[in-house]
Structures are given as C-alpha cells and as structure tokens.
Structure 1
Amino acid sequence: MKIENSVVLVTGANRGIGRTFVEELLKRGAAKIYVAARDTAAVADLLKSGDRRLVPLPLDVTDPYQVAAAATVATDVTLLINNAGFAAFDGAISAPTMDDARTEMEVNYFGPLALTRTFAPILAKTGGGIINMLSMLSLISLPMAGTYAASKAAGLSLNRSIRAELGAQGTQVIGVLAVQTDTAMGAKLPEPRLSPVEVVTDTLDALEAGTNDEVVAGGQSRGIYQAFTADPQKIQAMMLTRLPKRA
C-alpha cells in the first residue's frame, strides 16, 4: 500500500518508535494520523505544530472499552500500526512477582490482538494494512528479558495467523523484527543500538513495496538475523548466557 493519502492509527505515538512513525508518515503524505496514547497530554508537543492531520486519540490498548471507542472514532483507518509496548526486562524466575509478565502479555500480545480484531472490519472496507512492532527477541530467547521475549514470540505467532486470516480481505500484514533501538525502552539493553528512524523507514519502505511478511528492520538487525539463520543454536546459546542481574 501507499502512505500518501492514507489514514493511520499509531498506538504508543507519544515517544520512541511510535513518535518516529508519526513524523515519517507526515513526510510521506499521510492524510490523517490518529496519534494514540493512554494520556493524550503526552502527545501535546506533537500537536504544537498545528498540523490538522494529527488527531489525538486516548487509547489504552489493554482496555477493551477504549479499544471499542477508538473504532467508533477512527472509522476511516487504512493502516493500523500496533506499536505500543511494555518491557520489564527481568527474568522469568528472578522477577519478584508475575505482575510485569502479565502486563507484557496484555500490552504486547492481547493489545494488538484486540486492536486487530476490532479494526479488521474497517480495513476490509478501506483496504490497507497492519504493522505489528515485534522484536528480534520474537525469535531468540534472552533470559535477562525472559517474559518480554516470550510476549514477543507470542506476537510473532499471532502476526502470522492474522496475515493468513485477513489474506482473503486483502489486508497487508507486516511484523517488524528489530534489535535494541535507541529509545527509553531500548536504553536498558546493551549498545550499539539502532536509531528509530532506521527502523521506521525500513518498515514503511517495505510496506510501500508490497511486502506481506516479517521485515528485518535496520542494518544491525539484518546482521543478527543472518547469523541466527546461519546457525540458530550458536546464537541462541550465546544469548542464554545473558542472565538477569541479581538484586
């Protein structure tokens, strides 16, 4: 699909990769962008430009009522970008409770599922596509972020099922695989880190090229992905040495 004249909903649009998506979509000529965040005050600086293409939308992806309400407002969406994410960066066993693990699944798995189920009928009428922000940890387990990796692995499996189910209505579905990125969330992972611009431009380029598959975004991501596909056991064994820090 083409970005020019598209109508886009971006979750987690207030910072990091989500904010970069908004900025790049504007450059590429999107007609309207619903900038979604749990608190729309967080997108106030984005709205300072006065660009009327930007429409603030209160949306907690874990709240079914807000998800349903969003669909009554954003009835013209042609591209859904499931970007909102949460990472505790803790081990599956070393975490003091399971609360963060549950939140990771709610935000990273059930959130995109709920948004996609809700907006699929709209996309069937308007055409277009879905972008799901995943992670290279969808493929590789990392003990220091054990439950986050599990939520992203679930997201990858979901992404493939969604693509198959929505194929009949012509909805393009992309899952983005990227390594640590220079955002507030990614700062908890080792350097070097990708720039959000590199992740977003690679993703939107793939969308406009008609890709209907997973996209490995960023040069550093492609290097890790090539090493993983060449010898999955070697890369996974290396990652398993990165254990959570003990309190």
Structure 2
Amino acid sequence: MKLENAVVLITGANRGLGLAFAKEALARGARKVYAAARNPASITLKGVVPVKLDVNNPEDVARVARECADVTLLINNAGVAEMGGFLSDDAEAMLRRQLETNLFGPLRLSRSFAPVLANNSGGGIINVLSIASWITGPILATYSATKSAAWSMTNALRQELTSQHTQVLGLHVGFIDTDLTSNMDVPKIAPELVVSRTYDGLEQNAHQVLADEPTQQVHQALSSHPDVYLVAMDSH
C-alpha cells in the first residue's frame, strides 16, 4: 500500500522509532497521522493528531478504534524491554509484563482495527518486531521470547487477514539509535533509516523488512527456505 493519502495510527509515537514513523508518514504525503501515547501531551510533532492510548488498556483500545474509524494503516510500535534471563528471580514477572505490551498490545490493536481496515479497502498493519524474534541470550531472554511470540502472531494475522486484503508487514531490526539504547555500546542503526526502509517495503507489498545488516545475516543463516513461515500449517 502507499503512504500518500493514507490515514496512519502509530502507537508509542511520542519518541524514538514511533516519532520517526510519524515524521516520515507526513513527509510521504499521509492525509492524517494519529500519534498515540499514554500521555498525549508528550506528542509535540506538528501536523499529527495526538491520541491518548495505553495499549495495555482494552477500553482505551476499543475507544480509539471507534474514534479513529478512518485509519488505513496501523503501526504497532509501542514496546518494552527488560534485561534478564529465565533463571533470574523475577523472570516470570518480567515475562508477563513484556508480553502484555509486546504481544497482547499489538494483538488488541490488530483485532480492534481489523474491521476498520476492512471498511477502508483493506489497508495495512506494520508490527515492529526484532532480530531477537530469532536469536536470544541471557541478557534479553524474556524480551526475546515476547518478540518470538509477536512474530508468530504476525504471521498468523497475515494469513487470517488475506481475505480482506489487509497487508501485514513484520519489521525486524537490531539495535536502533534512540534514547532507549543510549547507554549500550553496540552497533546501532538510525531510526530514520529503519522507517524509510520499512515504508519502502510496505509500498512494495513486502511481507517483512530486514532493516539492518545483522538482521539480514541472521535471517539468511536460519534456513534455506526463508519464507516457509508464510505458508499455513494446514495447507500442507
């Protein structure tokens, strides 16, 4: 789908990658951009419509779906990350907290906006995933599990929404140069570049975008049939 004349809703749009998504949507000619955050006063970008939204609050999600019935592109960007492995004392609590935002948040939004998108000729959904959807380690083990779950959900939603012509795109990327990674001494990619590549993929009808070189290398190493997950299990 094209960004020109699209009506875009972005979660977690007050900073970092979400803010970059909002800026580039406007630059590419989106007709309207809803910038969602728990505190709408934190939305300072000119040209967007601030929206109060806590993705963990089902009532918030339902209200926004009613009030923003012209949306043609949903970007599930809001997410959280906590450091820790599965053998840490608070592993279960960490996992539950992150699942609530990283899995159930996008699921709530996608379910609520699926009929909205259907009414608006199908449209699209972008789910912000991670290189951690495929590889993990003790530092980000619980976070990685939530992104793996979100990747699986994205693939299933893509199949379920095919009949209403909704494009579902999974964005995979490593470390992004935002305030969330400011204290991490690792290679990072600029959020503007991630967004540009993601929107390019959307406009080329892609199913996924591998936004940086580490993610591309990991994906290539996973399988000789990298798109096998696009096929439903019951189709074999």
Q: Same fold (TM over 0.5)?
A: yes
Percentage of matched positions with identical amino acids? 46
CA distance in 2, matches of 1:189, 1:120: 37
CA distance in 2, matches of 1:166, 1:190: 40
- Cα contact 1:81–1:130 (8 A) shared by 2: yes
Query: Residue 9 of structure 2 aligns with which residue?
Result: 9
- Cα contact 2:201–2:208 (8 A) shared by 1: no
CA distance in 1, matches of 2:102, 2:118: 24
Given candidates 119, 132, 151, the residue that maps to 2:127 is: 132
Q: CA RMSD in A?
A: 1.5
- Cα contact 2:11–2:35 (8 A) shared by 1: yes
Query: Residue 41 of structure 2 aligns with which residue?
Result: 41
1:95-244 matches, within 5 Å, as: 95-96=89-90, 98-126=92-120, 127-187=122-182, 189-211=184-206, 213-229=207-223
- Cα contact 1:194–1:220 (8 A) shared by 2: no
Query: Residue 240 of structure 1 aligns with which residue?
Result: none
The one-letter code sitting in structure 2 at the alignment partner of 1:82 is N
Q: Post-superposition shift, 1:189?
A: 4.5
The one-letter code sitting in structure 2 at the alignment partner of 1:205 is D
Structure 1: state its 5+ residue gaps.
Answer: 231-247
TM-score, with length taken from structure 1:
0.86
CA distance in 1, matches of 2:200, 2:95: 33
**Secondary structure, counterpart of 2:64 in structure 1:** helix
Structure 2: state its 5+ residue gaps.
Answer: 225-236
- Cα contact 1:136–1:178 (8 A) shared by 2: yes
Q: Post-superposition shift, 1:187?
A: 3.6
Residue by residue over 1:131-158, the C-alpha shift from the partner in whole angstroms, topping out at 9 and shown as x without a partner, is 0000010011222111100000000000
Q: Post-superposition shift, 1:88?
A: 0.8
TM-score, with length taken from structure 2:
0.90
**Secondary structure, counterpart of 1:143 in structure 2:** coil
Residue by residue over 1:80-106, the C-alpha shift from the partner in whole angstroms, topping out at 9 and shown as x without a partner, is 000000001222222535332211000
CA distance in 2, matches of 1:95, 1:18: 32
CA distance in 2, matches of 1:55, 1:20: 15
- Cα contact 1:88–1:100 (8 A) shared by 2: yes
Question: Which runs of at least 4 in structure 1 moved beyond 6 Å after TM superposition?
Answer: none
Query: Residue 65 of structure 1 aligns with which residue?
Result: 59
